[in-house]
Every structure is written in structure tokens, then in C-alpha cells.
Amino acid sequence: MGVVSPVDRDRAPKQDRSRATRQRLLEAAVACLAERGWAGSTVSVVAERAGVSRGAAQHHFPTREDLFTAAVEYVAEERSLALRALFPQGAAGAGHVDRRAVVSALVDLYTGPLFRAALHLWVAASNEEQLRSRVTELEARVGRETHRIAVELLGADESAPGVRETVQGLLDMARGLGLANLLTDDAPRRDRVVTQWAALLEQNLGR
Amino acid sequence: MGVVSPVDRDRAPKQDRSRATRQRLLEAAVACLAERGWAGSTVSVVAERAGVSRGAAQHHFPTREDLFTAAVEYVAEERSLALRALFPQGAAGAGHVDRRAVVSALVDLYTGPLFRAALHLWVAASNEEQLRSRVTELEARVGRETHRIAVELLGADESAPGVRETVQGLLDMARGLGLANLLTDDAPRRDRVVTQWAALLEQNLGR
């Protein structure tokens, strides 16, 4: 007790290395899924991209489904953290919530490589039984967490009738804007839509 | 002049048959894309499903890209016609526009097999150069047409500031709701979101 044995001293850096390897694999998996789609994304391809042996990759993730659902979940969590960090004061107590900025940041969650990777995973899951239940469960979890963050950052009072559905519709709109950005750069149009709907929300959410 | 030659008499039914074959191929292509995704959708598979020889299929559609972009376009046009037929009076002159019903019908365009097929095509196009430009062009055309119909059916006055973006955001939401319906039946939640957003529109579009 209180004495670090040589075994423990060895273990700590080893755990760090293992965590770093896991993280490299997850990031490589998301990039791979976004660029090549499900059909082009295998554990071997990801391991090579991450500079990790195939054996080590399979030690962390025994199956392809394990790797890719974990990857999308990992990045979704990172994005949630980044989103909260962007508005550290949240809406609590703050006199004024900049809803335009919050809506814009929420919509940004659905453009870029993470959304692209998640989209490939959803579409693949719609045709592949072994993926379907896992992705459905993951999607429900990520969706609930995103909703919670949105309510908090917008300073929305969900006890008022309709507010819950207003926020849900906003996140559906964000997802649709992500889809519209898949093939072309839709940023200028997206900015105008965000400005307008942030104004509508402002009227509707009050304060 | 005025006399139907034997050749013309033969040609008419032949054109009809050719049109019917084309239509069968297009419908089979959409079903195939929705069920199997791009990777599982080839001209041969579609021809077999449609009960058409591979040669006849290739006579109508020389390449896989021709077949599938034509298929998504064809069904999108059919859906636009059906949508207009649902509200034959439009908003013109009508004292009251049932915006809840219009929003609901617009959202319905993005659930079901057509959206699923279009989604597979978009996702495939994001990774396949030969599809990308065609699907981008198709998507822009279908998007403009859907926007036009939405403005008309909602009785929205686009000369008023923000109205154009309000309608665009609504269609983005509809697309996002389609995506949310990909893996699970999202109908009960969707109904509540549609009700709430229709109410927001009602406040904003006036009349």
C-alpha cells in the first residue's frame, strides 16, 4: 500500500500506450468510413492507416462492427465535449443566450467527416442485419445526448408545451442540412437558413 | 396526311410497350437500390427483377449510372405529381390553407422507399466520381422543384424577407426526419414534430 511495485510502474505506461493505440484506431476508422464508405472499410485497412498491426487492432476490436460502432460513438462524444466547451457558461443564469451561435454550432455537428462517417454507418446498417441493432442503439443514445445539450445551450424550457418538439425539429433540420452538404458545399445557403430559423426560435423560445 | 399508315399503326403499340418496359425497369431499380444499396444494384439484377432481358435493359439504359439516376428522377417526378394532386386547389384563392396537412405531406416525401433509394444513391455518389456530378445535378433539380411545390402549397409569399429560408429550413427538416426514419419507425415522434413546426410556420407565414 502506498508503495508502487515495479509491476505497477510498468503497467501505467502500458495502459497509456494501449489507450493511445485504441484512439488512433478509432480516428482512422472514422476517416476511413467517411472516405471509402462501409464497403471499403475493413479492420485491416484501418489498422494499416493507424500504423497498428492487424493483431493489435483485433485485440482492441474483435469484429468490424465493434470497431466502427465504437469509432462513431467515440467521435460523437468528442464532439459533444467540444460543443459544451464552446459555451462553457451554458444558458444557466446568463442574461442573454446567443441562439444564433448555438444553432450554428449545433448544425456544425452535422457537417464534416463525423457526420459523413455516421451516414455511411447508418446506410450500411439499413441493409446489414448484424450492424442494424447496434447502430440503432448507438444512434438513440447519441440523439438523446445531443438533444440534452441543445436544450441546455439554448436555454429552452421543456416544461412549456411544444418546446421539446421545437428543439427536436431543429436537430432534424440540422441533420437534413448535413445531408444537403454531402455532395456539394452548401455553406452559404446553410448560413441563411440558420439565421432565419434561429430568429424563429428566438420568438418561440422566449426569455 | 390524315391517313394512318400501317407502319404508324404498328409503331404506336410498340412505343407503348417500350415505355412500359422502361417504367418497369425504373421501378425495379428504385426498389433494388432501397433494399440492397448501390453495391448490390446492377443492371442485371434490375433487369431480372423487372422481367426484362439484359439486352433490352441496356438498350434503354447503356450504363448503371444512367439507369439509377433516371430511376430516382422518375420516381421523384411521380411523387411531385402525386403531391400536387393531393392539394388540387393549391393555396391560390383558397381562404384557408391547411398547413399541417401540407407539411405532413411534404415530410412524407422523405420517408419510404424513394427517399431510401435516393439516400443510397447520394451516399454512393459521395465516394464514386462517375456518379457524383450526375447525382449532384439531379439533386439540385429535384430540390428546386420540391421547393417550388412547397411554396405554392403553403401559400408562402417569398417576396417577404426570410420566407424563402423558412421554407428551405422546413424541407431540410423533412430530409432530416427521413434520415431519422431509416433504421427505426420514427412515425410517432415525427408526427409531434410536424405538428409543432407547422404551428411555427403558421405564426410566421401569416395570412
Closest to A204 measured CA to CA, from B6, B148, B168, B203: B203
Q: Which amino acid type is present at position A26?
A: L
Of the candidates B123, B168, B199, which has its C-beta nearest A193's C-beta? B168
pLDDT tops 90 at residue B43: yes
And the C-alpha cell for A186?
Answer: 452548401
Say if B174 is an interface residue toward chain A (CB within 8 Å): yes
In percent, how much of chain B has pLDDT > 70?
90
Q: Which long-range contacts (CB under 8 A, 24 or more apart) does A133-138 make?
A: A134/A65, A134/A69, A135/A69, A135/B183, A136/B183, A136/B184, A138/A69, A138/A72, A138/A73
Mean pLDDT of A137-158: 92
The predicted complex's ipTM stands at: 0.87
**Cα angle A181-A182-A186, degrees, rounded to a multiple of 5:** 20
Mean pLDDT, chain A, whole residue set: 88
Cβ of A120 within 8 Å of Cβ of B123? The answer is: yes
What's the pLDDT score for residue A95? Answer: 60
User: Could you please report the per-residue DSSP string of B136-177?
Assistant: HHHHHHHHHHHHHHHHHHHT--TTSTTHHHHHHHHHHHHHHH
pLDDT tops 70 at residue A11: no
What's the pLDDT score for residue B10? Answer: 60
If one compares B112 and A155, the residue with the highest pLDDT of the two is A155
- Name the pLDDT band for A1 (thresholds 50, 70, 90): very low
What's the pLDDT score for residue B174? Answer: 96
In percent, how much of chain A has pLDDT > 90?
55
pLDDT tops 80 at residue A19: yes
What's the pLDDT score for residue A15? Answer: 85
Mean pLDDT of A110-133: 87
Phi, psi of B156 (to 5 degrees): -90, 140
Return all residues near A43 (Cβ < 8 A) that are at least 6 apart.
A54, A57, A58, A61, A63, A64, A67
Alpha-carbon distance of A121 to A119, in angstroms, equals: 5
The size of chain A, in residues, is: 207
Alpha-carbon distance of A176 to A110, in angstroms, equals: 8
Task: Give the other-Cβ count within 10 Å of B20's Cβ.
Answer: 10
All residues of chain B having their beta carbon less than 8 Å from the beta carbon of residue A132 are 183
pLDDT tops 60 at residue B194: yes
All residues of chain A having their beta carbon less than 8 Å from the beta carbon of residue B195 are 165
Cβ of B183 within 8 Å of Cβ of A136? The answer is: yes
What's the pLDDT score for residue B186? Answer: 93
User: Could you please report the per-residue DSSP string of B109-121?
Assistant: TTSSHHHHHHHHH
Q: Are B154 and B97 in contact (CB under 8 A)?
A: yes
Mean pLDDT of B45-71: 95
Return all residues near B176 (Cβ < 8 A) that are at least 6 apart.
A171, A172, A173, A174, A175, A176, A177, A178, A179
- pLDDT digit string (tens) for A60-96? 999 999 999 999 899 888 888 888 888 887 655 556 7
Which chain B residue has its CA at the smallest distance from A164's CA?
B193
If one compares A10 and A78, the residue with the highest pLDDT of the two is A78
pLDDT tops 50 at residue B1: no
What's the pLDDT score for residue B9? Answer: 55
Min Cα separation B104/chain A (Å): 13
Q: Which residue has the cell 446568463?
A: A94
Alpha-carbon distance of A135 to A203, in angstroms, equals: 36
How many DSSP H helices and E strands does chain B contain? 9, 0
User: Could you please report the per-residue DSSP string of A13-61?
Assistant: HHHHHHHHHHHHHHHHHHHHHHHHTTTT--HHHHHHHHT--HHHHHHH-
pLDDT tops 90 at residue B13: no
Substitution target from B138, B172, B182, B193 for chain A, most A beta carbons within 10 A: B172
Considering just the CA atoms, what is the radius of gyration of chain B in Å?
Answer: 20
Angle between helices A64-86 and A113-127 (to 10 degrees): 140
- pLDDT digit string (tens) for B123-153? 889 888 888 888 999 999 999 999 999 999 9
Taking the domains of chain A in order of start, what are their residue ranges? Answer: 72-205
Domain B64-205, what fold?
Answer: Tetracycline Repressor; domain 2 (1.10.357)
What's the pLDDT score for residue A154? Answer: 92
Mean pLDDT, chain B, whole residue set: 88
Closest to A56 measured CA to CA, from A30, A19, A31, A27: A19
Give residues 33 to 92 of A whose Cβ lies within 8 Å of B.
35-37, 39-40
- Name the pLDDT band for B106 (thresholds 50, 70, 90): very high
What are the b/e assignments for A84-114, b being 16+ CB within 10 Å? Answer: eeebeeebeeeeebebeebbbbbbbbbbeeb
Mean pLDDT of B167-182: 95
- pLDDT digit string (tens) for A149-186? 999 999 999 999 999 999 999 999 999 999 999 988 99
Q: Which amino acid type is present at position B65?
A: E
